[in-house]
Structure 1
Amino acid sequence: MSLNEKLNLAHNFVVHTNRNIFLTGKAGTGKTTFLHQVKQLSAKRLAVVAPTGVAAINAGGVTIHSLFQLPFGPLVPGTVQREGRKFNRDKINLLRTLDLLVIDEISMVRADVLDGIDDVLRRYRNRPDPFGGVQLLLIGDMQQLPPVIRDDDWTLLSPHYETGYFFGSKALRRTPYVSIELTHIYRQSDERFISLLNSIREKTVTRAQLDDLNQRYVPDFSPSDDEGYITLSTHNTTAQQINSQKLQSLKGRLHTFTAVIEKEFPTHAYPTEAELDLKVGAQVMFIKNDISREKLYYNGKIGRVTEIDDDLIYVKSQQDGEVIPVDRVSWENIRYTLDSSTKEIKAEVIGTFTQYPLKLAWAITIHKSQGLTFAKAIIDASAAFTHGQVYVALSRCKTLDGLVLRTPIPSHSIKTEQTLEDFHEQVQQQTPTEQHLHDAKRTNQENLLQELFSFDQAHSLIYRCRRVATQYHSILADELHTNLEQLANTQSTKAHNVARRFIQQLPTYFGSDSLPEANQPLQERIRKASAYFRTLLADELLPLVHQCPTDCDNKQVRELLLEAMDELEKELFAKRQSFESVRDGFDALVYLQARNRAELDFQPERKKNETTATSDGAAKGGLYGALMKWRNDLAGEYSTSGYMVLPQKTVHELSRVRPTTTAELLTIKGFGKTKVKQIGEDILRIIQEYAGHTTPKVQKASKEPKPAKDPKGVSPAITLAFFRSGKSIAEIAAERGLAVSTIESHLAQSVSMGDISVEDLLPPDKIAAIQTYIDANEPKTLGEIRAGLGNEVTYSEIRFVYNALRSAE
């Protein structure tokens, strides 16, 4: 297969299918270039991540741990991860609308990290498919650097994984992927050098080739800084020796910065030198990402020190010439353990290291060089200790002539690993053909059409809203239940069932030789269905959602309901936009773009229509708003909560029914004769003023109770507010300066009106004793009950139970 054919095949699989792709190839074959082309040309919504800061910068993305908030440490299957996972709304939206996830330098990604990505995507996309249905483009060369797995980490992971490489991921093994290997090398044009690199990569290097390579060994090679050489070594110690020599050769004052090391932080884990020696003119590399808002530097950025003062080091970037002020930062040493009882991975900070995030950089490790390209490099790889080190170091160089060996490379430094050899053989068998591409396109289009016509998610979200409404029925507006019931019926009969019948007919059309996008009879059906569902969503389903009142005096219940209603409205809004995108026929990429834009553009219309009163008492929404303002003003006057004066549910009912007499007022739930006497006149006045009348038509209720002592008539409501806040009867009496019997009388009224339950006031055994006596003796006065039960009960306790029985009749 030619170069262009492979690149076109890879591009078509990325853009026109949902198949996962492993794009591999030798160093310099254009994998990173392909990645940047995909970013520019793909109509899909994508994110690019990489395992290290340097690799992420080179790929134009972010680190895996940054995007997915994964903890640094082993992600053991079946355990509870307590770290990370604190996503803001923007990141959740990104994950929900993600079509394509590009992971660069996949050779360095551990299997458990890939499974951690799978867990996050499935959770926030609310889909059980591997990786939440997101397509993966995995880019890398398994003959390059492997993932870093500490012995302690592998102890935790080895019971669950056969290998730590990415292809050991449990999620990846549950989803098929195609492998495309690029073979044409761009970085090097010298066939002799290319042949040598291929032999080292494939572990087939001959003695003659190795001898040829070792001719680049130049003893005591010491170029000047102006020549632009950088040294790549296998070990930090070697790089440090070179850097120290270069530093000594610089004129000027030597500045030494001592790290602050607290508790346990082993020497081998120091991110930079504990005694960091620098001079003006020193070549340095940043070894940590700038976590400030400015993001001035990243791990791997190279520059030269221009100035040093007491607190800051100034570094001029080689890349853009910008001078960066650098302050000290801290690193943490964390120990991970598995709690056998809770199955949690515990992370404990056992030490910190604080120092300037800089290293001398006339020499760097091979590990830091992956993804970089150098015109001139000195390679010190004779002590290679992991698979791929020699190949990565050599392949950083553009030409064999620009490469100088610090020491000859022995054959034993070219490592091999059978696991990777077996995987490479498997990759060769997974190379797709044009027929595979055609089939994958068909499958992708068929899946998208089934997704388009599925109302399962809307069905589930309506059920969720109704469950919340039912659970908190007593404090939510009756209109909400009515609207949700109508919405459920309409959605079920006109959307869910109709769409399901349409989906059942799709296989008939899918049997055609042409792809769904090119199937004209199917396209005609889709256009007609689009018109039906657009009208249904715009004229019936969404208006019902917009009309659902979500006001509630209980803040937690309101937030719970708002979350459910917003999710439902967003789903229906996205459906409407999706059907709009197929108005003239189905195009997979157009549909994807419309669906994703809907997720991002959504603004709840229901909130705009909702009639609420603001915290300062300024109200909106006609009669409802007027009643809410009166309620809140009165509550403020008495330093109590608004719902203690009049529950929001009652306000809704008042604004809907609009009673004009006390008799009509008594039909409103929450209004008894006492409350009518206390605040009925004010309520009727507001209703009639809103209706344009000047005088309220107040009809006195028969057997009016004695006038309340409180001039505003809200004393029982204030007592109820205190009681609901958790205060005892005695505490309320003391705080209000009233007799205990008065407070008990207020609470008895609340029982009569159904504002509280008798169970909130008395233990079950006492309620049962009083109720049993009343049922058995049918007493005519409370005194008879007291005489029959003796001193075991008080008059107030009898009144609580008696009022509860009367209100239930």
Structure 2
Amino acid sequence: MPAIVNEKLQLAHDFILHTNRNVFLTGKAGTGKTTFLHQVKHASSKRLAVVAPTGVAAINAGGVTIHSLFQLPFGPLVPGALNRETRKFTREKINLLRTLDLLIVDEISMVRADVLDGIDAVLRRFRNRPEPFGGVQLLLIGDMQQLPPVIRDEDWALLRPYYDTGYFFGSRALQKTPYISIELDHIYRQADQRFIEILNSVREKRITRAQLDDLNQRYIPNFTPRDDEGYITLSTHNQAALQLNSQKLQSLRTKLHTFEATIEGEFPAHAYPTEASLELKVGAQVMFNKNDLSRDKLFYNGKIGQITDIDDDVIYVKCPNDPDTLAVSPMEWTNVRYTLDQQTNEIREEPIGKFVQYPLKLAWAITIHKSQGLTFEKAIIDAASAFAHGQVYVALSRCKTLEGLVLREPIPSHSIKTELLLEEFHEQVQQQTPDEQELWHSKQTNQEQLLLDLFSFERSYYLLNKCRRTVAEHLGSLDEGLEPGLNQLNTVFKEKAHEVTERFRQQLPRYFAGSLLPEENQPLQDRVRKAGAYFRDLITHELQPLLASCPTETDNKQVHEALDELEKELFIKLQCFEATLDGFQALAYQKTRNHAELNFQSSRKKESRKSDEARTSSEKPRTLYDALAKWRQDQAGELDTGAHTILPRKTLAELARSKPSTLEELMQIKGLGKMKARLIGDDLLAIIRSFTENESAEKTAATGEKTAKTPSPALSLALFRSGKTIADIALERNITVSTVEGHLAKFVSSGQLSVYDVIPAEKVEAIRTYLEKHTPKTLTETKAGLGDDVTFSEIRMVYNSLLAGKTGTD
């Protein structure tokens, strides 16, 4: 970041970069608030996002709207209502919010208190932290003497029971977290001290009669400037501005040119920086609405000029006091969204939309609201009918000089609206301005808190006990070794991690008591390095191996989630301790912690996935458990459901261990029950018999005895033609019912067997009619349409017969 010569801007920068204090940056118009925002955005090493209340403000700030990032509903947000919202956040956005360090909110004067509380609710929800805004640092930028939030009467009727004011500082979450206020007072826009004093008096609602009379001397009755003088009219109402621009354009006798914007991707209409269909004529007064990014800086946002010529792709504009005519070509605005870089895990701005148009708009008139942030050399102020707080000040402060403004009507004192609440808030702001000593203490507090967080296993200990409670509640469906494994982990964890860190944390205040910051305190740094090495080794060689050794093959989602949370917390702690081996640095520690949050991958999930893939992809399962698991996976695929709904893992393990051979024995297996045993019992018994006999055959082969050749699918057809049912064939051949149906389906497909021999005619016709009429894409879709009267196997056979063109023949 370039050197900041303004002491207050430097103070604000230091608080943002080196502390976790929330900052309200305010100041008069033209004091450099927007410039500071862009400096922080491009120079801070913290993970940050920029939001604004409107689309245009967000584009100008290089950020996104509040509602798009936090997916807030429009309208009043009654406290607690967001807890009932079901808006789905993507995994990427959740990760972004979880690792956010700094949130910059521009134009905070226009943000309602309930919207700020909506941000708080979303951040606390996804960061799983109880502190206001989930512990994210806030930089709130704006001037409360400028434009206020828009709150309709019907909306305020809903919010009034919860809020004393609709301004941002009425936020319930903000009132629970201390913040400092820094008011910028060096004005860069105006240099005339007389005009500056008038503006300050208008801003603070203390204008004297003499100052008002001085200001109203700029009222010039029937003032009609020449078109080449470059005056723009600032109006309180949008319709008045549109009407004046339209009348002026129509009065020109030159040819009308229409320029259509090129819009790509996502770029909502409310955020268009200028007209998508821009109508201009030679002689029209226009305003630039984008800064010249070239080295010459020939124009800026708000500069006024007159069109002198229009070519096919260039518009020529002459600005007052400029010696040369400017050749203007189309420029590009980008709409962005925040994403996580897959390589670096940094928050980055991803372009999602583009708006290409000439950076011009008709500028005989503009609304005061849209002029916020702009600077004009000459302006006609039409603010006598100001209806909102701050409108007069915003309009007057757009002008660089008093001589450059003309009043359409004298400004009455009653149009300079005042609010006692804002005056009281401004007094509080004055009292909250920090000094260098408070900055030092804030740095110290921030670094100390980060160290205390680093050497705390409170969350890990809580998650371990959560695992133990969850396992205790579901013991009946879990591996018997899981509870003892977690108990052993708890013993080691309590003695070597939790209790040790508690003793170490009690020693830290002694090191903190000195006059040095923790980062500069060498005795403390030495102690941190040694402690970090101890806990790194403890996690690597004892805690993680103990957790990994716990048997966790279960379909219980709650157990999975609890174990994943614990494993993730240990992973994050390990990464953070490794980052302290060369010493503690606050920004480096925060960066490491955030990256660890994003880089974690559950080892249990990876192993489970590999195991399931091995079991379900192998043509010949290696064990009975593998065979049962493969059957379970196939059934889940057929029914389009989760594998655990077919049978729990623990039930599969018990089946593989006990090898029941009858339906009665099967019913005794926990997790089956009589109903399910009757439904899927034949398949399970056939798998068990087949696998048991194959094991016996392999043993016989190993001893040199002859084994019978495995029957081919043709045998299934022969047995079926002999009058045996599918169930009889499965039992006789020690294969599953679905395998027999698969054999017969092949012969139906080849035309060797009529589908009517396997399935009743009425069913065949019902299935065939449905397939031809609806052309479903999957068997599951067909099953859903036909109901429980047909099976997947019957649907498949009819489908095969249709493909073969053999539905009606043998």
| Pairing partner for 1:597 from 595, 598, 620 | 595
| Pairing partner for 1:446 from 444, 448, 454 | 448
Moved more, 155-164 or 444-453: 155-164
Amino acid at match of 1:433: D
Q: What is residue 463 of structure 1 aligned with on the other side? A: 465
C-alpha deviation, 1:151, in angstroms:
1.5
Amino acid at match of 1:158: R
CA contact (8 A) 1:483 1:547 kept: yes
How far apart, CA to CA, are the structure 2 residues paired with 1:609 and 1:682?
Answer: 28
Amino acid at match of 2:46: K
How far apart, CA to CA, are the structure 1 residues paired with 2:17 and 2:270?
Answer: 31
Q: What SS does the corresponding residue of 1:617 show, helix, strand or coil?
A: helix
How far apart, CA to CA, are the structure 2 residues paired with 1:391 and 1:647?
Answer: 70
Q: Given the superposition, is the C-alpha separation of residues 609 and 29 from structure 1 closer, same or farther in structure 2, using an over 3 Å criterion?
A: same
Q: Given the superposition, is the C-alpha separation of residues 70 and 306 from structure 1 closer, same or farther in structure 2, using an over 3 Å criterion?
A: closer
C-alpha deviation, 1:144, in angstroms:
1.0
Q: What is residue 35 of structure 2 aligned with on the other side? A: 33
1:621-650 per-residue CA deviation (whole Å, 9 max, x = no partner) reads: 976995466545886999999779975335
Q: Given the superposition, is the C-alpha separation of residues 317 and 425 from structure 1 closer, same or farther in structure 2, using an over 3 Å criterion?
A: closer
1:94-126 per-residue CA deviation (whole Å, 9 max, x = no partner) reads: 221122222122222222222222222222221
Is residue 608 of structure 2 the alignment partner of residue 607 of structure 1?
Answer: no
Q: Which residues in structure 2 correspond to 1:249-648 (within 5 Å)?
A: 249=251, 280-281=257-258, 293-295=265-267, 299=271, 301-303=273-275, 305=277, 322=330, 362-546=364-548, 551-552=553-554, 557-558=556-557, 560-610=558-608, 611-614=610-613, 617-619=616-618, 626-627=626-627, 631-632=631-632, 647-648=648-649
Q: What is residue 245 of structure 1 aligned with on the other side? A: 247
1:374-432 per-residue CA deviation (whole Å, 9 max, x = no partner) reads: 44433211111222111111222334444343333233221221111111112111111
CA contact (8 A) 1:100 1:137 kept: yes
Q: Given the superposition, is the C-alpha separation of residues 143 and 696 from structure 1 closer, same or farther in structure 2, using an over 3 Å criterion?
A: farther
C-alpha deviation, 1:475, in angstroms:
3.9
Q: Given the superposition, is the C-alpha separation of residues 644 and 365 from structure 1 closer, same or farther in structure 2, using an over 3 Å criterion?
A: closer
Is residue 68 of structure 2 the alignment partner of residue 96 of structure 1?
Answer: no
RMSD, aligned α-carbons: 4.7
How far apart, CA to CA, are the structure 2 residues paired with 1:204 and 1:692?
Answer: 105
Q: Given the superposition, is the C-alpha separation of residues 713 and 32 from structure 1 closer, same or farther in structure 2, using an over 3 Å criterion?
A: same
Q: What SS does the corresponding residue of 1:573 show, helix, strand or coil?
A: helix
CA contact (8 A) 1:24 1:139 kept: yes
C-alpha deviation, 1:550, in angstroms:
5.1
How far apart, CA to CA, are the structure 2 residues paired with 1:81 and 1:511?
Answer: 42
How far apart, CA to CA, are the structure 1 residues paired with 2:224 and 2:433?
Answer: 46
| Pairing partner for 2:144 from 131, 137, 142 | 142
How far apart, CA to CA, are the structure 2 residues paired with 1:214 and 1:453?
Answer: 65
CA contact (8 A) 1:55 1:370 kept: no
| Pairing partner for 1:165 from 152, 156, 167 | 167
C-alpha deviation, 1:687, in angstroms:
8.1
1:263-284 per-residue CA deviation (whole Å, 9 max, x = no partner) reads: xxxxxxxxxxxxxxxx754999
Q: What is residue 211 of structure 2 aligned with on the other side? A: 209
1:725-761 per-residue CA deviation (whole Å, 9 max, x = no partner) reads: xxxxxxxxxx999xxxxxxxxxxxxxxxxxxxxxxxx
C-alpha deviation, 1:215, in angstroms:
4.1
Q: What SS does the corresponding residue of 2:612 show, helix, strand or coil?
A: coil
1:476-509 per-residue CA deviation (whole Å, 9 max, x = no partner) reads: 4445445444433333332222222221222222
CA contact (8 A) 2:624 2:691 kept: no
| Pairing partner for 1:9 from 11, 19, 25 | 11
How far apart, CA to CA, are the structure 2 residues paired with 1:189 and 1:606?
Answer: 67
Among the aligned pairs, what percent are the same residue?
59
C-alpha deviation, 1:4, in angstroms:
2.9
Q: Given the superposition, is the C-alpha separation of residues 504 and 695 from structure 1 closer, same or farther in structure 2, using an over 3 Å criterion?
A: farther
Q: What is residue 765 of structure 1 aligned with on the other side? A: none
CA contact (8 A) 2:259 2:279 kept: no
CA contact (8 A) 2:647 2:672 kept: no
CA contact (8 A) 2:625 2:652 kept: no
| TM-score normalised to structure 2 length | 0.68
Q: What SS does the corresponding residue of 1:612 show, helix, strand or coil?
A: helix
How far apart, CA to CA, are the structure 1 residues paired with 2:34 and 2:521?
Answer: 37
Q: What is residue 44 of structure 1 aligned with on the other side? A: 46
CA contact (8 A) 2:460 2:566 kept: yes
Q: What is residue 19 of structure 1 aligned with on the other side? A: 21
1:267-309 per-residue CA deviation (whole Å, 9 max, x = no partner) reads: xxxxxxxxxxxx754999x9xxx9x84327652612473589x
How far apart, CA to CA, are the structure 1 residues paired with 2:113 and 2:7?
Answer: 31
CA contact (8 A) 2:636 2:646 kept: no
How far apart, CA to CA, are the structure 1 residues paired with 2:129 and 2:193?
Answer: 49
Q: Given the superposition, is the C-alpha separation of residues 230 and 360 from structure 1 closer, same or farther in structure 2, using an over 3 Å criterion?
A: same
C-alpha deviation, 1:709, in angstroms:
4.2
How far apart, CA to CA, are the structure 1 residues paired with 2:700 and 2:79?
Answer: 68
Amino acid at match of 1:489: T
How far apart, CA to CA, are the structure 2 residues paired with 1:633 and 1:442?
Answer: 57
C-alpha deviation, 1:513, in angstroms:
2.6
How far apart, CA to CA, are the structure 2 residues paired with 1:175 and 1:534?
Answer: 34
1:16-56 per-residue CA deviation (whole Å, 9 max, x = no partner) reads: 11122111111111111111222222222222222222222
Amino acid at match of 2:734: K
C-alpha deviation, 1:202, in angstroms:
2.0
C-alpha deviation, 1:671, in angstroms:
12
How far apart, CA to CA, are the structure 2 residues paired with 1:201 and 1:234?
Answer: 17
Q: Which residues in structure 2 correspond to 1:689-708 (within 5 Å)?
A: 694=702
> How many correspondences in the alignment?
636
Is residue 644 of structure 2 the alignment partner of residue 649 of structure 1?
Answer: no
Amino acid at match of 2:446: N
How far apart, CA to CA, are the structure 2 residues paired with 1:218 and 1:574?
Answer: 69
Amino acid at match of 1:649: K
Q: Given the superposition, is the C-alpha separation of residues 455 and 323 from structure 1 closer, same or farther in structure 2, using an over 3 Å criterion?
A: same
Amino acid at match of 1:35: L
How far apart, CA to CA, are the structure 2 residues paired with 1:692 and 1:234?
Answer: 98
Q: Given the superposition, is the C-alpha separation of residues 43 and 403 from structure 1 closer, same or farther in structure 2, using an over 3 Å criterion?
A: same
Amino acid at match of 1:305: S
How far apart, CA to CA, are the structure 2 residues paired with 1:365 and 1:544?
Answer: 67
CA contact (8 A) 2:615 2:629 kept: no
CA contact (8 A) 2:182 2:434 kept: yes
How far apart, CA to CA, are the structure 2 residues paired with 1:686 and 1:405?
Answer: 100
Amino acid at match of 1:246: K
Structure 1 gap ranges (5+):
254-278, 309-315, 326-357, 660-664, 698-705, 719-734, 738-809
